[in-house]
Amino acid sequence: MTDPSPRPFRYPVPELGALPDDVREKILAVQEKAGFVPNVFLLLARRPEEFRAFVAYHDALMEKREGLTIAEREMIVVAISTAQACLYCVVAHGAILRVRAKDPLIADLIATNYRKAGLPPRQRAMLDYAMKVATTSYLVSDEDHEALAAAGFTEDEAWDIGAIAAFFSMSNRLANATDLRPNPEFHSIGRR
């Protein structure tokens, strides 16, 4: 049986009232929208400068509305987060993926084995590249970029795929180093 009320992460949970205004307001805005405060915001609030940079970087990559769809961006997160077995990233972004893709099954499939998830060739090529960036980026070569081009991606979209894989490679490690746990709410979101 899993612990019914585990610590959300290795560090003390900060008091909302003691946080800088912009950090607290961001947290309250997310809570307003999601109905709960995702643990990653409480974790990073311990370090306001890092909080701000993380959120800004995240939003630049994940909230962009051109090129990759927002569901595809989340597919990348779920796929590459399995490479570092990141509890928070797989479960929380699995939920977001289900919502954005309007598909209750896709997150479990990609979280287990994206190669056997029955994805169309475009998304398979996207995740092959993302996974290579996440795991063996030192092998990335012109051939990989040509494969993306052949699958219909522009060079700017290639940047997005690589940058999302890179950003969540950071995020996975932050979460694992701090024992960040997903909020229980994430498990059931988007399952219909």
Residues between 38 and 67 with contacts to a second copy, criterion CB under 8 A: 46-47, 49-50, 52-54, 56-57, 60-61
Tell whether residue 162 is a contact of a second copy (CB under 8 A).
yes
Q: How far is the CB of 24 from a second copy (least distance, A)?
A: 19
Q: How far is the CB of 97 from a second copy (least distance, A)?
A: 11
32-39: long-range contacts at Cβ-Cβ below 8 A with a sequence spacing of 24 or more? 34/185, 35/185, 36/183, 36/185, 37/183, 38/92, 38/183, 38/186, 39/8, 39/9, 39/88, 39/180, 39/181, 39/182, 39/183
Tell whether residue 174 is a contact of a second copy (CB under 8 A).
yes
Tell whether residue 76 is a contact of a second copy (CB under 8 A).
no
**The token pair that represents 82 in the structure block:** 């399995």
| 13, 31, 108, 147: residue in contact with a second copy (rule CB under 8 A) | 108
Q: How far is the CB of 69 from a second copy (least distance, A)?
A: 10
Q: What is the DSSP secondary-structure string of 73-137?
A: HHHHHHHHHGGGT-HHHHHHHHHHHHHHHT-SSHHHHHHHHGGGS---HHHHHHHHHHHHHHHHG
Tell whether residue 169 is a contact of a second copy (CB under 8 A).
yes
Binding part of the chain for a second copy, among 18-26, 28-36, 180-188 by CB under 8 A, reads 180-188
| 85, 122, 152, 154: residue in contact with a second copy (rule CB under 8 A) | 85
Interface with a second copy in residues 115-134 (CB under 8 A): 115-120, 133-134
Please tell me the distance from the alpha carbon of residue 169 to that of residue 51, in angstroms, as a whole number: 17
Please tell me the distance from the alpha carbon of residue 44 to that of residue 110, in angstroms, as a whole number: 27
Whose Cβ is closer to a second copy: residue 29's or residue 56's? 56
At residue 79, what is the residue type? A
Tell whether residue 184 is a contact of a second copy (CB under 8 A).
yes
Q: How many residues bind a second copy (CB under 8 A)?
A: 73
